[in-house]
Amino acid sequence: MSNFSTNDNRSMTNNANLQGAKVDNSITYVRGLSDEALTSSLSSIGSMVNSITNANLEAVRAVQQKDLVSETIKAKMNQQAIDNTINTTNKAINNAINTTNKAINTTNNAINSSNRNLGNIASSALSKLETGSKKIMSLIIAIAGIGAVLWIANKKGLLK
């Protein structure tokens, strides 16, 4: 029969905490993209980390009951707890990735919509500029015509 010490218990608990830290690190770049999506993701990850910690604590308790459980059964339970921890961590990571992708898609949709709006505004501004330019050119031509008539009239002495 094996001897499991307090250090073994801490090691398994620390492993669960490290797994939770890895999950938290996988979502840090999402901040600022979508508060609602990030809140949902953090809530899901928190639940998953709690499940991981509980699974490890249950495995430690089972291993500590060495007088009641044979070494084979304890080893199987410990392996099952490790497998459960890995599966739960993978689910939490996948949930974080999915939530992150949804936030990125939402942001991209907002950017695309904004770009379309900017394009419409620019097109309208160019159209108004073109119309204004035509009016200014007409005014310049009219002033030039009046100037030419006055110049000719002055040359012929009509303005004296």
Compute the average pLDDT of residues 87-113.
83
Distance, first Cα to last Cα, the chain: 128
What are the pLDDT digits (tens) for 57-89? 776 676 666 555 566 666 677 788 888 888 888
Q: Is 37 exposed, middle or buried (0-12, 13-18, 19+ CB in 10 A)?
A: buried
Q: Where are the domains of the chain?
A: 6-122
Is residue 20 a contact partner of residue 86, using CB atoms and an 8 Å limit? no
pTM value is 0.37
Higher pLDDT, 15 or 79: 79
Residue 26 has pLDDT above 70, yes or no: no
Is residue 69 a contact partner of residue 77, using CB atoms and an 8 Å limit? yes
Is residue 13 a contact partner of residue 82, using CB atoms and an 8 Å limit? no
Q: Which of 29, 23, 55, 56 is nearest to 42 (CA)?
A: 23
pLDDT confidence bin for 34, thresholds 50/70/90: low
* Percentage of residues in the chain having pLDDT higher than 90: 0
Higher pLDDT, 143 or 55: 143
pLDDT confidence bin for 30, thresholds 50/70/90: very low
